[in-house]
């Protein structure tokens, strides 16, 4: 049992179109200056919500790293001409209205130099609790209108497991700021959620509530749960193929963790590793022709790769440092978590590094705390991760091109694992 618990800890603490490790393309003096104006009528009933949306828009603009943002609160009328500061380039103006229980937002992006409207749209959500996604979509549309680098990842759902007590954890979906949260699975120990498709309509997770660990697939639109497979010791879904037909599993049926390829259509599994040690956290790489994974075959955790065949040779991917125990791959880039030696920054720090498999260049991304489970966005320009610092758990966002990091603390509980 102690070995099983160690393996769960091992994987949970561990588990570009241009060279992002070298170039920072955007310079602060070349970014457009933008202000946000609230044009909601004075009789709008929910002033608290109005203020939250204003602040969320400001935050989204800053996280995009594609604007210089003035965060001064401004009121105006929706069709007013702008006669303000000549240093302002753009105006994001929004107006909120309520229609029964639905929330409507009118938005226009204005060229502050000539008052021309660049883009104008209307948004409607039925559930006001999902207002963060209204803000995210407005900022995405503003960003796209000026041709800035893509930030569509802002609109994706985050799914994570949150520890709530001894052997208790919930599966929750949220926006990237953790402002909107909805519990999907509760009761007992439910961990390692992983989206099952690009549409984010289904996900996998591991339940430790039965006699042996069991992997389930939950369909959100249908509200159904299906058992996929059970295995003694440990069981984690760490990656899903592009078409959703295959998943990579870490399984330990004989108290020996290895990487398995499982076909969810035929229910057939294939063992990919057979090292007499720890092989965990498999991820598809190289157009799904190979798998990268964490192994202790050097006597400490590091990252290796091989073709999808049990007899294929194993290649070491990262040569910098030791104790590299969680990672994410995009193209020929790898972002990984490394355990550091004690320093002035603290003890037992785990920092994130970005490396290229084609060069020896490496770039440090974090400096303090325990930073785990890095994950690339679908365009490779943004990294999400879990940060634990001074007994607090947070979701971190790193914008690689602007070299900026943003943290969104979880107010209650602790994040166990995360996916987007």
- pLDDT-derived band of residue 305, with 50, 70 and 90 as boundaries? very high
The pLDDT tens digits of the residues spanning 214-272 come to 999 999 999 999 999 999 989 999 999 999 999 999 999 988 899 999 999 999 999 99
CB 407 within 8 A of CB 367: no
Lowest mean pLDDT, pick from 149-163, 264-278, 343-357, 358-372: 343-357
CB 293 within 8 A of CB 305: yes
The pLDDT tens digits of the residues spanning 377-401 come to 988 999 999 999 878 899 999 999 9
Q: Which residue has the tokens 């799904």?
A: 288
Which uninterrupted H or E stretch holds 142?
Answer: helix 131-145
- pLDDT-derived band of residue 321, with 50, 70 and 90 as boundaries? confident
- pLDDT-derived band of residue 112, with 50, 70 and 90 as boundaries? very high
CA-to-CA distance for 144 and 317, rounded, in angstroms? 36
CB 160 within 8 A of CB 172: yes
The pLDDT tens digits of the residues spanning 66-99 come to 999 999 999 999 999 988 777 899 999 999 999 8
The rounded Cα 42 to chain-centroid distance in angstroms is 37
CA-to-CA distance for 336 and 46, rounded, in angstroms? 44
The pLDDT tens digits of the residues spanning 9-25 come to 444 443 333 333 323 23
φ and ψ of 155, to 5 deg: -90, -5
| Helices of type H across 164-302 | none
CA-to-CA distance for 381 and 400, rounded, in angstroms? 6
CA-to-CA distance for 176 and 401, rounded, in angstroms? 19
DSSP labels for 293-360?
Answer: EEE-TTSS-EEEEEESSTTSPPEE---SSS-EEEEEEETTEEEEEEEPPPBTTBSS-EEEEEEETTSS
CA-to-CA distance for 303 and 327, rounded, in angstroms? 8
The rounded Cα 283 to chain-centroid distance in angstroms is 16
Query: What CATH architecture applies to the domain 28-145?
Result: 3-Layer(aba) Sandwich (3.40)
Q: Is the pTM of this model over 0.85?
A: yes
| pLDDT confidence of residue 2 | 37
| pLDDT confidence of residue 139 | 98
SS (H, E, C) 31-73: CCEEEEEECCCCCCCCHHHHHHHHHHHHHHHHHHCCCEEECCC
Structure tokens at 257: 């963790």
| pLDDT confidence of residue 335 | 96
| pLDDT confidence of residue 347 | 66
The rounded Cα 137 to chain-centroid distance in angstroms is 17
Domain boundaries, the chain: 2-22+234-419, 28-145
| pLDDT confidence of residue 42 | 94
| pLDDT confidence of residue 24 | 28
- Where does 2-22+234-419 sit in CATH, by number? 2.120.10.30
The pLDDT tens digits of the residues spanning 283-302 come to 999 999 999 999 999 999 99
CA-to-CA distance for 59 and 65, rounded, in angstroms? 10
Q: Which residue has the tokens 């490790």?
A: 21
């Amino acid at each position: 049992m102690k070995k099983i618990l160690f393996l769960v800890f091992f994987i949970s603490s561990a588990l570009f179109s241009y060279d992002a490790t070298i170039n920072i393309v955007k310079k602060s003096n070349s970014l457009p200056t933008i202000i946000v104006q609230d044009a909601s009528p004075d009789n709008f009933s929910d002033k608290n919500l109005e203020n939250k949306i204003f602040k969320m828009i400001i935050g989204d603009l800053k996280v995009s790293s594609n604007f210089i943002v003035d965060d001064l609160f401004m009121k105006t009328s929706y069709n007013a001409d702008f006669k303000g500061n000549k240093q302002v380039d753009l105006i994001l103006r929004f107006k909120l209205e309520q229609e029964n229980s639905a929330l409507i937002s009118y938005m226009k992006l204005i060229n502050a130099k000539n008052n021309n409207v660049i883009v104008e749209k209307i948004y409607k959500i039925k559930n006001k609790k999902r207002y963060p996604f209204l803000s995210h979509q407005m900022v995405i549309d503003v960003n796209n209108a000026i041709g800035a680098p893509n930030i569509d990842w802002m609109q994706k759902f985050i799914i994570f497991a949150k520890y709530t007590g001894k052997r208790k954890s919930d599966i929750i979906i949220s926006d990237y700021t953790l402002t909107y949260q909805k519990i999907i699975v509760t009761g007992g120990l439910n961990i390692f959620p992983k989206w099952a498709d690009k549409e984010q309509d289904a996900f996998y997770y591991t339940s430790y509530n039965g006699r042996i660990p069991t992997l389930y697939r939950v369909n959100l639109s249908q509200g159904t749960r299906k058992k996929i497979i059970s295995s003694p010791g440990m069981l984690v879904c760490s990656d899903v193929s592009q078409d959703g037909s295959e998943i990579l599993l870490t399984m330990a049926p004989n108290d020996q963790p290895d990487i398995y390829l499982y076909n969810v259509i035929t229910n057939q599994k294939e063992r990919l590793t057979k090292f007499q040690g720890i092989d965990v956290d498999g991820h598809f790489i190289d157009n799904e022709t190979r798998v990268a994974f964490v192994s202790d075959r050097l006597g400490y955790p590091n990252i290796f790769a091989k073709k999808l065949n049990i007899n294929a040779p194993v290649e070491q991917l990262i040569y910098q440092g030791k104790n590299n125990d969680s990672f994410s791959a995009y193209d020929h880039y790898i972002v990984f978590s490394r355990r550091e030696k004690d320093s002035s920054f603290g003890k037992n720090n785990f920092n994130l590094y970005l490396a290229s498999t084609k060069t020896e260049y490496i770039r440090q991304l974090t400096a303090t705390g325990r930073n785990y489970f890095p994950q690339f966005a679908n365009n490779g320009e943004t990294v999400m991760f879990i940060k634990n610092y001074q007994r607090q758990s947070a979701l971190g966002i790193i914008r690689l091109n602007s070299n900026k990091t943003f943290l969104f603390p979880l107010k209650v509980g602790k994040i166990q694992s995360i996916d987007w």
